[in-house]
Amino acid sequence: PELPPGFLKDMEIGQTKILAVTLLTSIDNGMLKDMGYATSNPRELVISRATWAMKIGCHGVVCSGQEVGRVKEVLGSSLVTVVPGIRPRWSVSKDDQRRIVTPSEAVLSGADYIVVGRPIRDAKDPKDAASRIVDEIEAAVNS
């Protein structure tokens, strides 16, 4: 069913923020085509879904760092963006994630929040891995 514009903004949800997942970072161009989407361009699909999410009143979206800059450009900087699929250059990136970016690329492209899982969880020293990611982000924003 069609949701009316502003549907979520009219709901009493307190401090809860509603985010829409635009497209899993494990899905790439070829997979979109195989799944029968009219477009095999992830960026187009993400923008379409983010536009719809904003229209119905979502507070933000979850999208790849490869699309976050365009999402902000099209929909404005007030839309909260959460970026998963973060892979520092020094981490193992051979997994199911297809549309990945480094922590600094995500932040410099406009991500408000990043989600870092495996590079920290699977590190020999998770605390050191987290510190290295923070250092990378700080260096990027301060340069």
Of the pLDDT bands very low, low, confident and very high (cuts 50, 70, 90), residue 97 is: confident
Tokens at residue 86, please?
């973060």
Sign (positive/negative) of CA torsion 69, 81, 5, 23? positive
Q: What is the pLDDT of residue 42?
A: 83
Structural domain 19-141, CATH architecture? Alpha-Beta Barrel (3.20)
Q: Does the pLDDT value for residue 1 go beyond 60?
A: no
Query: Residue 115's closest CA among 36, 72, 54, 60?
Result: 60
- pLDDT (mean) for 87-111: 86
Range in 76-80, 90-94, 105-109 with the lowest mean pLDDT: 90-94
